[in-house]
Structure 1
């Protein structure tokens, strides 16, 4: 099948929007439960007397548990997909949310976030495969719809701090169990469709081969694929390290630098994350039109000037810069996942796990490093030094071109 005819065949394949929106809603609920952890940081600082370093360890434990396990789960589910694991994963998260509400100390909080992390690790590879089946010929758009759900859930952390946890305190986390219950209810409707697709098409690789979706034209040898995947992991590492610094510690920086209240200091973080939701969606749409590599280069490299400015501007400029930074930085997030999936279409689950899982787990090291450096050097210096991380995005220019760019 020629490239043109393969592309036409892919475009004729219907996109199942009902399933995409359902799995995106579950992604929102899953990542909202993860966001509860960072949303509780100001509360933990008061109720449990946690230090910046301990909060860094909490973020690290959550991200490492949810991330390192993702490529492992993805590897095995590529060989034998497990639809029933979707609701089971949400059950683990439900247990973790209940644990957070009543944790009496630091180590109990760590145990609770392990359950939340494991639930997320189980959900993501299988969720990505559901998206792969439902995407049809609009792979970038489908992945964006899915990732928008997750990013929207993450962006709710500042609002939860303001409206739930500051008024209710740590016990307010019990409401998070309702999120897990809602996710399980939705997944019980998605799982039968997913099973039908597996029976009809087998592994998603068969569909990928039929549609001719290999993304990187020059990437025919293992060495080229390995090089491209290494670059992708480095890019996502830099992005996630920087986002970890903003989401975990920028509110404390804003309180210290601008004299903002706890509630007011959440606003720039919310703007950053909310703009990231929009960036995630439009990045996928634009990548379908202009190419994956171009969007990846634009998203991380284009965010660098705004990241460098953010720690040094007056308060009035913080809000528009936070919006622009979040939008541009996250516009390449879903694109990176699709690029990786199409580089190794035989291992969709593992590719998704590497980009959305392991790379974010390595980025979670930033939470520990930044937390401990903040205690040693102070937050202003840490925010300034971490602002150079998006410059690593220039490595994206070394990626092989995708089909659209090579045509």
Structure 2
């Protein structure tokens, strides 16, 4: 019961943090409309939030491998929200970039430690980790609605109101920290020092995640503009596309966790990437309202692997769980922002459809990298989560506890 409560609270807190990842892309159309930014300048805002986050997440992951830092959860949540909340104040482009970078640091500090805590609280269950990841996807999905309600009401000067989810998330983290203090002493989720790291597989997984991130961040930055062109709609049509993209991600995360109980994670992830190639092509080339269907399928295809890639990374580096989490989550949510300005420059010079076309190849590259990866044996999901009991379940449970 305590495990379920902790996962629910962590999931809700994760939603409060990832609101700010989704808010960056959701704010871009308002910056364009109110401050007349070009595509390239607008994508630079995404870059500011992504660049420091990409670099900082592995750093924070390495710190959590040395010693647990649970107080990072409430503090980083507030920092991530503060940057976005201040981004609409004043008209200075440099100041906006600075505030977005601050938000990126907060997000970077949150994810490796929260993944470590979730691993401990879930005892390695794929479904529980899926619910933890779902919280982040719900936050992504809520961001366009939250930003539209706040900013459309009073303009960018109302951005300080966006701090509210961060304050709520910091409060939600406190009961989890108290539960950790009361729990029996463990190794803090740092991994099994007796396990062997499979660095080659981890590198290939990381490269696949880079391709996935380029696709998702590129879509989340420009899909609102693209759908407006495809449907002939206004700002509402673009906001709806962004909402569908993020909501589809939430669905994909749950589906991925459930599929991992039927097939191995590598198979589920590789097939998901293969199907995503067709979905992204549909987003780029299919005109009219049907584009929303392909936006949803793209999101599901990109997010089925989300929590599975985190646990795979932890299992490929069992002695460096924090580092694995930091690198994987950092790449998944951040590195794509580094390529967004390139997409923006191409869109300014040619067309948005031309700029988005290369994204079709990215999930195909992820599939090629994933298809021959080994399924790790370091960590298996708790058999009690899928209703199996007996000696086999006891053995699996014992193996898993030793890996934590």
TM bucket (normalised to shorter chain) is 0.7 to 0.9
Q: How far did residue 364 of structure 1 move?
A: 1.7
Structure 2 match to 1:66: 53
Q: Which residue of 2 aligns with 1:158?
A: 144
Per the TM alignment, residue 334 of structure 1 is displaced from its structure 2 partner at its CA by 0.7
Please give the per-residue CA displacement for 1:172-196, whole angstroms capped at 9, x wherever unaligned.
3212111111111111222122234
Task: State the Cα deviation string for residues 356-377 of structure 1 (Å, max 9, x = none).
Answer: 1145433221211111111112
Q: Distance in 2 between matches of 1:114 and 1:309?
A: 33
Q: Secondary structure at the match of 1:62?
A: helix
* Rounded Cα–Cα distance in structure 1 between residues aligned with 2:59 and 2:344: 28
Match of 1:232 among 205, 213, 228: 205
CA distance in 2, matches of 1:165, 1:306: 31
Query: Residues 209 and 331 of structure 2 are in contact (CA less than 8 Å); yes or no, is this contact kept in structure 1?
Result: no
Q: Structure 1 stretch 179-188 or stretch 82-91: which is displaced more?
A: 82-91
What residue is the counterpart of 1:397 in the other structure?
371
Q: Once the 2 structures are TM-superposed, how far is the Cα of residue 209 of structure 1 from its aligned partner?
A: 7.0
CA contact (8 A) 1:90 1:184 kept: yes
Distance (Å, rounded) in 1 between the aligned partners of 2:218 and 2:374: 30
Q: Is the 8 A contact 2:256 2:304 kept in 1?
A: yes
Return the alpha-carbon distance in structure 2 between the equivalents of residues 378 and 348 of structure 1. Answer: 42
Count residues with an aligned counterpart.
378
Q: Can you list the C-alpha shifts for 1:230-271, whole angstroms capped at 9, x where unaligned?
A: 211111111111111211111112223331111112222221
**TM-score under structure 1 normalisation?**
0.87
Q: Aligned-pair distance for 1:331?
A: 0.5
What is the alpha-carbon distance in structure 1 between the residues aligned to residue 166 and residue 234 of structure 2?
A: 31
User: Whole-Å Cα distance in 1 between the matches of residues 335 and 101 of structure 2?
Assistant: 16
DSSP-derived class of the 1:108 partner: helix
Is 1:192 the counterpart of 2:166? The answer is no
Matches within 5 A, 1:2-401: 16-138=3-125, 140-197=126-183, 200-205=185-190, 208=192, 225-394=198-367, 395-401=369-375
CA distance in 2, matches of 1:339, 1:301: 19
Distance 1:328 1:15 in 2: 32
Distance in 1 (alpha carbons) for counterparts of 2:94 and 2:181: 39
**CA distance, structure 1, for counterparts of residue 180 and residue 318 of structure 2:** 18
Once the 2 structures are TM-superposed, how far is the Cα of residue 293 of structure 1 from its aligned partner?
A: 0.5
Query: What is the alpha-carbon root mean square deviation over aligned residues?
Result: 2.1
* CA positional deviation for 1:137: 5.0
1:171, distance to aligned residue in structure 2 (A): 2.1
In structure 2, distance between residues paired with 1:278 and 1:359: 17
1:68 and 1:43, CA in 2 relative to 1: closer, same or farther beyond 3 A?
same
Structure 1 stretch displaced more, 343-352 or 332-341: 343-352
Partner of 1:200, secondary structure, is coil
- The structural deviation recorded for 1:346 is 1.6
Give the Cα–Cα distance (whole angstroms) in 1 for the partners of residues 82 and 246 of structure 2: 26
Shift in CA distance, 291/209, structure 1 to aligned 2, threshold 3 Å: farther
Moved over 6 A (4+): none
Q: Decide whether aligned partners of structure 1 residues 103 and 236 sit closer, same or farther in structure 2, where only a CA change above 3 A counts.
A: farther
Please tell me whether the aligned partners of residues 206 and 328 of structure 2 are also in contact (alpha carbons under 8 angstroms).
yes
Query: Could you tell me how far apart the structure 2 residues matched to 1:375 and 1:328 are?
Result: 28
CA contact (8 A) 1:35 1:157 kept: yes
Q: Are the aligned partners of 2:61 and 2:113 in contact in 1 as well (CA < 8 Å)? A: yes
Q: Which runs of 5+ in 2 are unaligned?
A: 381-404
Range 252-261 or range 347-356, more displaced = 252-261
Cα distance change on mapping 1:95 and 1:323 into 2, 3 Å: closer
Are the aligned partners of 1:69 and 1:121 in contact in 2 as well (CA < 8 Å)?
yes
Counterpart CA distance in 2 for 1:161 and 1:92 is 18
